[in-house]
Chains A and B, each alone.
Chain A
Amino acid sequence: MDERAVFDRFHDALELEPRPGAYERFRADFTNPSVAANRRPVFQLRFSRMGLRVAAALAVVAIAIALVAGYVATHRSTSQVPATHTQTVTTSPAAHSMDPAVALPRDFPKDFPVYPGARPTFVGGDTSFGTTIFTINWETTDSIDQAYAWYQTSLGQGDWTITSKTAGADGDSISFARKSKSSCTGDVVISQRYPGVTQIDVTVCG
């Protein structure tokens, strides 16, 4: 695709007509200090209709869990528990669920290190350069630091070697190459997908 076509496609896809009079509204607010002082806070939380539904569903789930926990606790207290037995209750912070799993392509390189327990959630591929380039996303509930440390080790082993590492605001990334085929390069970008869910975004040659 030539660059002119890319410009045209972006303009076609993203053109969004701003509401008329936006500048005049800003100017009126800005040059009238009493209005500016009373404007809404920067971090106002606005829930969409879907957000409210999700919040309601979460509230129902929380109530259900509380009821079940209460039922279990009541019945446990009446059951036989050895006097020396100590129960340890652990709680984990509420985490967002991961996206649905998808199947990896059959020709995805078998020796590429896949983070243990990670779920593949997106699969893409491109063969327009004479070789296949895969774009795969995995998700894990482990932290960014855990995944990053694991790939730092794993991509320095076998037929893989790390060529550069960067830490950015949008995630940490590791660029790598095959030892046996230096033209085969790729990168791993590790970032937060949702609270409690880490995304591992891999681009690698086939």
Chain B
Amino acid sequence: MWFDRGEADLIEAAQAGDRTAFAELLRPVYETALRLAGALLQDADEAEDAVQEAAFSAWRRIGNLREGSSLRPWFFGIVANRCRAVKRNKWWSISRSEPPEAEAPATDLAMSIDLRRALRRISYDERLILVLRYYLDMPYEEIATTLGISTKAARTRVERAIHRLRPIMQVQGAMA
């Protein structure tokens, strides 16, 4: 039974080649990783594939996780990079139509579609940092660890990305 073991013990066991320990390490972060990939890719199937690829990649690189480091931000960084590769490999694809959301009020639905469209117009890095902050509700410190930047840089990038998003959304609102 693994549930009473601490993260550090599980990481140590995984680094020694214990697959079950590694799977247990991922259990508490897997759902959030799926939400991160889902928000970046907007496709549940692709998100699951991306997270699974990221998990296998993390397993191959578990030896790189430094002692005392938490798995969560490290794994999210791998998921984000995997999603970036998926986006890059499908540059030819055309955006599919928005899924029906029958129960949502019309104005909320329009605003949601506006935001999704606006997010497609900004760079991947800007989209990623906004998803980490405003969708996964991450504190700046964890965003910084995930992206390998300083906390101040994380805050600045979030502010900059929001600043970039605002005019795009306003123009789309005016055109709608």
Contacts and interface: CB of A to CB of B under 8 A. Distances in A.
Interface of A: 1, 6-7, 9-14, 16-19, 22-23, 25-27, 29-31, 33, 36, 39, 42-43, 45, 48, 50-51, 54, 96, 122-126, 128, 133-135, 168-171, 189, 191, 194-195, 201, 203
Contacts of B130: 10
A22 B131 contact: no
Given A27-B23, A50-B93, A124-B167, A14 B137 contact: no
Contacts of B89: 43, 45
Interface stretch (B28-36, B61-69, B70-78): B28-36
- Tell me which of A17, A54, A96, A126 has the highest count of chain B C-beta atoms within 10 A of its own C-beta: A126
Interface residues of B, number: 55
Given A30-B22, A168-B125, A16 B44 contact: yes
Contacts of B166: 1, 126, 128
Main secondary structure of the interface of A (DSSP, over half): mixed
B162 to A, nearest CB: 7
B80 to A, nearest CB: 11
B3 interface: no
Contacts of A123: 171
Contact of A135 (B104, B116, B137, B168): B168
Nearest to A48: B93
Contacts of A10: 115, 130-131, 134-135
A125 B20 CA distance: 53
Interface string B119-153: 10101110000110011010000000000000000
Main secondary structure of the interface of B (DSSP, over half): helix
A16 B42 contact: yes
Interface in B157-174: 162, 164, 166-168, 170-171
A11 B90 CA distance: 25
B51 interface: yes
Interface in B8-48: 19-20, 22-23, 26-27, 30-31, 34-35, 38-39, 42-45, 47-48
Contacts of B162: 6
Contacts of B26: 23, 26
Nearest to A12: B112
A193 to B, nearest CB: 9
B52 A29 contact: yes
B20 to A, nearest CB: 6
Identify the 5 closest CB pairs spanning chains A and B, nearest first: A126-B167, A16-B38, A10-B134, A13-B112, A18-B34
Given A14-B135, A169-B125, A135 B51 contact: no
Contacts of A135: 164, 167-168
A128 B47 CA distance: 36
- Tell me which of A7, A13, A126, A195 has the highest count of chain B C-beta atoms within 10 A of its own C-beta: A13
Nearest to B42: A16
